[in-house]
Chains A and B, each alone.
Chain A
C-alpha cells in the first residue's frame, strides 16, 4: 500500500475539503429513431465533503447517483460547474485525482476467468505498486475483508456475488484511496455479506481516515454509516444534512418518511416504476 507520507505529499493542504462540487451538471443525448433528445442526468448540484467524513446520497434508480460518482471518478466530463477533490480539479487534473480515489460499484468489475489474486495484482500495477510490495499485501488484504484465501487462485466466475464484492473492496483498499466512492456497494448481496461489507467500510474509515461518498438506496445503510445524508431526486440534490436533521426538517419519524416527504414518493415504489 502507499505510505501515509507519500499520500500526504499529494495533498499538501490538510484543511482543503475532500470534495467540493459547485453547480455541477450533466446531460446525455439519446437517439430514438430519427430524433435526438437531451436527458438531464444531473441538475446543477453543489455540496462539499470534509476530510474524513462519510456522506450518503440516497436516490432511486435513475436519480443521478451513478452519474455523480462517474463524474467524480473522471469517467465523465461535465457540462457545467466544477468539482475538486482535495483541491485538484477533477476535469483539468484527472491524473492527480485518480491517484487519490478508488471506487466500488454494484457490479463486480473483473476479468472473470482470472483469479482474485491475478485481478488485484495487475490492477495494483496501474497505481504504481511493485510486485514485491503486493505479493504479501494482496493475501493480507483479502484475509482482512474476510475472503477465504483457498479461493484466491481460482477463477472469479466461480465465486459468489458476496465474495466478488469482497475482492472489489480489497482492490480499492490496496491502493489506499483517501476518497472512497461507493456506488451501491451492497446491492444484491445477502444480509450477511451486506453486514460484512458495512463493517468493512467502518473499519476503512477508522484505520485509514478515508473520506467516503456512499451512493445507495438502502436507507438503513445510509443512516448507520454516514454523518450526513443527501436526497438526490431526478438529478436534483434536494437536501444534505445529518439524518436526524432531515427527519426534523420533514417532520418524519424515519428516514424513509423523510424521503417520501422530500420527493413525494417512496424509495421502493420509485425503484419499481423508475
Chain B
C-alpha cells in the first residue's frame, strides 16, 4: 500500500514537471505567444468575414448565426491545433533543444509524460481560445443571448479527452520519423477537421467522408458547441453528441498510449531516440 502511494506520488510529481516545464517555456517565449495569438486572430477574422462578404453579395441568411457558425469552426480548428501541436511537437522540440535523451531516460512513465503534455495543451488551449472568442465576438458585435457557456465548456473538456488520445497517436510520428513526422502529424489534424464539418455541415460531404465523420470526435464537438453557443442547448439536449465523444475518448487514450509505447520501442531499437545534430 505504502509502495503504491509512493509510486503514485512520484507519477504525479513527474506529471507536474511536464506542466512546470511548459509553463516556463511559454513564459520565456511570451513575445512568440503574442505573435501567434495575433496570427490566429487574423486567420480567424478572415474566415468569419466570409459571412459578411456573402451578405454584401446579396445572399439572404441570418448573418449573426452564420458568423457565429464560422467562428466556432475557426475556434475549434485553433484549439485542436494547440492541443495537437503541443503533442506532435513534443518530441521534435526536445530533439532540437537536445533534451530528448534526458527526458526519455528519466523515471517518468510515458502515460504521465503524454497526459501531462496533453492536459497542459487543453488548459493552454482553453485560455487562448476563450481570449480569441472574446476578441472576435467584440469585433463583430456578436449577440449570443441564449449561449450556454457551461455546456460548451463541458463539451470541450469531454472532446479534449479524445483529442488527447488522437494527439498521442500522432505524436509518435516524429519519434519514428525525425524528418517527416511533424508534417504527417499536421496532415492528420487537417484531415480530421475536413471530415468533421469545420466550416460546413457534414451532410454536404461525399458519402465516404461522412462515414469518416462518424468516427471523428471533432464532428460531435463542433455540432454540440454550435448547439450550446448558438441555440443555447443544455447538456441534457447535447447527450446525443456527448456519449460518442466519451466512447471515442475511452478507446483513443489507451490506444494512443499503446501506439506511442510501440513507437518508442521502435525508436530505441533503431537508434532514433536522440538529439538532432
Contact = CB atoms under 8 A, between A and B. Distances in A.
B268 A114 contact: no
B126 to A, nearest CB: 22
Interface in A92-140: 95, 98-99, 101, 103, 105, 107-114, 118, 121-130
A110 B28 CA distance: 14
Interface stretch (A71-79, A144-152, A213-221): A71-79
9 contacts: A73-B105, A74-B105, A103-B102, A113-B25, A113-B29, A122-B17, A123-B102, A124-B17, A125-B16
Contact of B105 (A103, A122, A130): A103
B268 A125 contact: no
B101 A125 contact: no
Nearest to A130: B13
B24 interface: yes
B25 A111 contact: yes
Interface string B1-36: 000000001100110111011001100110000000
B104 A118 contact: no
B246 interface: no
Given A113-B28, A124-B17, 5 more contacts: A70-B271, A75-B268, A107-B98, A114-B21, A127-B106
Nearest to B271: A28
Contact of B271 (A76, A121, A171): A76
A107 B13 contact: no
Interface string A239-254: 0000000000000000
A35 interface: no
A125 B21 CA distance: 10
Interface in A162-192: 171
B177 to A, nearest CB: 13
B268 A109 contact: no
A75 B99 contact: no
A121 B20 contact: yes
A128 B102 contact: no
B168 to A, nearest CB: 19
A118 B268 contact: no
Contact of A125 (B14, B25, B29, B269): B14
A109 B105 contact: no
A128 B10 contact: yes
A109 B14 contact: no
Contacts of A110: 97-99
B269 A77 contact: yes
A14 interface: no
Contacts of B102: 103, 109, 123, 171
Given A77-B268, A122-B20, A128-B107, A114 B25 contact: yes
Given A77-B265, A125-B13, A114 B28 contact: yes
Contacts of A125: 13-14, 16-17, 20
Nearest to A99: B107
A111 B97 contact: yes
A155 B97 CA distance: 13
A75 B29 contact: no
B273 interface: yes
A29 interface: yes
Interface in A67-93: 70, 73-77
